Amino acid sequence: MTDTRTPALEVRDLSISYGETTVVQNVGFRVAPGEIVGVIGESGSGKSTVAMAAMGLLPPAARNESGQISLAGMPMTGLSEKEMCRVRGARAAMVFQEPMSALNPCMTIEAQIAEVLTIHGLSGKAAARRRALELLRLVHMPDPELKRKQFPHQLSGGQRQRVMMAMAVAASPELLVADEPTTALDVTVQAQILDLILELRQDIGLGVLFISHDLGVIAQVCDRVLVMYRGQVMEEGTPDQVLHHPQHPYTAALLASIPRASQRPRTPLTVIGGTFRVGDRLSPGDPAGGGANGPAAGPEPASAEPDRPVLLEATQLVKSFKLGRRRTLRALDDVSLAIRQGETYGVVGESGSGKSTLAKVMMLLARPDTGTIQYRGSRVDPGGTRRDIEDYRRNVQMVFQDPNDSLDPRYTILRTVAEPLRAVGLGTEETRHRVERSLAAVGFDAEVLSRYPHEFSGGQKQRIAIARAMVTEPSFVVLDEPTSALDVSVQAQILNLLLEIQQRTNVTYMFISHNLAVVRHLSHRMAVMHHGAVVEEGVAEEVFRSPQHPYTQRLLASLPELERSAEAS
């Protein structure tokens, strides 16, 4: 304990560029042993580049313009690849976002953990394998004797991330770099992994550099926070300072763009605008400042008045999939729900809860085993008449999670948005007119018609996907995680747009998400799904205020919440 003053990681005046573009500029910070330092920022903020630089894992195209990185007092800048290999894994380790693709599919997890020790000559093969078992126990892997002989695909997402953690701490490094380590996980699993990180830093005095775009997660685990924007650190401080009393306008704007419990549901979120510079200060009384939320005033949100007519009613839907000879999965287990005209019906649940199967069945993309779906009082499930089903199909549209996947890269925007109209059978002129109108509603003018998806950003692509869904003027739109692939500031834009369209056209949404805050912000009523069944249903605000079902309570409790950390402090 002589050198507790030596930081686990020290970055001084770091600048990195790709060609002409500077992606990290004059960044400096320290991570003390046992300290967790969070870096938040949106895509393109340079937070991952800093993480990679700390590990010496920058791609060859990146050029280190200036600055020093030292690991536990040892300078890392200028080390050869061979010398870096001795540092990586031994003194600095890394955990990545996607634990499935981050593990070698053809090696047992034991071999992958043991490898860290043998590479660095810390133990022989047999001893390394024994140590791998101990490490699996350390990260609380259930049934470690069995699991160690298994391959990554046989584990759950959370278990895979535990393997990554076991690998990371195997050689007792001074520094752990965690790049969005819980982003791909469900909230309850996320809570477990965060607990594990907190436990490990306590037990082995690990310094942690924690990269995330999720401010709730950052607030929960970090001792200090850096806010990055376009390659520069805008603000630094304790989570309480930064997230509740931000000094920099960018931080304030970022915070304001996140839907929160204190904001009235279905009111517009603040969208980040303009550019920010290091040293900008928030002027008192700034509308986006002080962690205050966007305009609280606004039209009184129409809550779920009971007199709205039911638009869509699903009764006792069952859908099962055969997994093997004997095992079947009940993806939908006796699901009944009623969606009223003009409302947003939220569906929350973790992966595997059946929410996407529900979306497919409601869209008539999958056939339920039993159960009925009624649209305006007529059956539209496979048992209904052809006319009713066709009428329903013309009135329903869908928006998907990742606009990079859901737009055909070889279609122009005109062809993309016009596609749903083919079923309607309009002339060329009328089609073009409708497409232009739909694009105008999401904020594009006619000059985008001949362009291709790759020319647009993620948020713009999602707006195009929304224009495509709205072009037929549907009465019901299924939104399947429409903002999960987007940055929070872009998410705010999309949520505002969806609200605005609903107010104008009275369209009905089924909004599927694992993000509870977003569902709370948007939904009139909601359902909570777990193992294929709806365990709780009701008016959204009431479900969040007083959850009745134990699963809902657990789900809400595991949600890292900015507000909760404020109450604690």
Partner 1 sequence: MGSYLLKRSATALLVLITLSVLVFSLVRWIPGDPVASFVDPNNPDPEQIAAIRHSLGLDRSWLAQYGSWISEAVRGDFGHSITQPYSVGEQIRSRLPVSVELGVLATLFGVLLGVPAGVASAVWRGRLPDLVFRIGSFAFLAIPAFVFGTFVLLVNSQTLRLRLIGYVPFSQDPLANLQRMVVPSLLLGLGLAALVCRYVRGTLLDTLGQDYIRTGRSKGASPARLVIRHALRNALIPVTTIVGVQLAALVGGTVVIENVFALPGMGNLLITAITTTDYPTIQASILVIGALYVAINLVVDLLYPLVDPRIRVVR
Binding site for partner 1 (CB under 8 A): 55, 57, 81-82, 85-90, 93-94, 96, 98, 101-107, 115-116, 119-120, 151, 153-154, 164, 167, 324-325
Burial class (CB in 10 A: 0-12, 13-18, 19+), 292: middle
**CA-CA distance, 6 to 107, in Å (whole number)?**
37
Report in angstroms how near the CB of residue 264 gets to partner 1 at its nearest. Answer: 41
Report in angstroms how near the CB of residue 149 gets to partner 1 at its nearest. Answer: 11
Report in angstroms how near the CB of residue 524 gets to partner 1 at its nearest. Answer: 40
Two tokens at 565?
């950390």
Report in angstroms how near the CB of residue 113 gets to partner 1 at its nearest. Answer: 10
Rounded (to 5) percent helix, strand, coil in the chain: 35, 25, 40
Q: Is 347 in contact with 353 (CB distance < 8 Å)?
A: no
Complex with partner 1: residue 71 or 219, whichever CB lies closer: 71
Q: Is 180 in contact with 97 (CB distance < 8 Å)?
A: yes
Report in angstroms how near the CB of residue 272 gets to partner 1 at its nearest. Answer: 30
Complex with partner 1: residue 70 or 341, whichever CB lies closer: 70
Report in angstroms how near the CB of residue 96 gets to partner 1 at its nearest. Answer: 6
Complex with partner 1: residue 152 or 342, whichever CB lies closer: 152
**CA-CA distance, 532 to 356, in Å (whole number)?**
10
Complex with partner 1: residue 149 or 433, whichever CB lies closer: 149
- Residue 123 makes CB contacts below 8 A (sequence gap 6+) with 117, 131
Two tokens at 459?
């948020």
Complex with partner 1: residue 85 or 366, whichever CB lies closer: 85
Complex with partner 1: residue 164 or 495, whichever CB lies closer: 164
Report in angstroms how near the CB of residue 456 gets to partner 1 at its nearest. Answer: 25
Complex with partner 1: residue 60 or 425, whichever CB lies closer: 60
- Residue 453 makes CB contacts below 8 A (sequence gap 6+) with 403, 404, 407, 408, 409, 411, 413, 416, 461, 464
Please report, for residues 99, 111, 128, 359, 562, the alpha-carbon distance to residue 167 in angstroms, rounded to integers and kept in the order given.
12, 10, 11, 38, 31
Tokens 């003027």 belong to which residue?
473
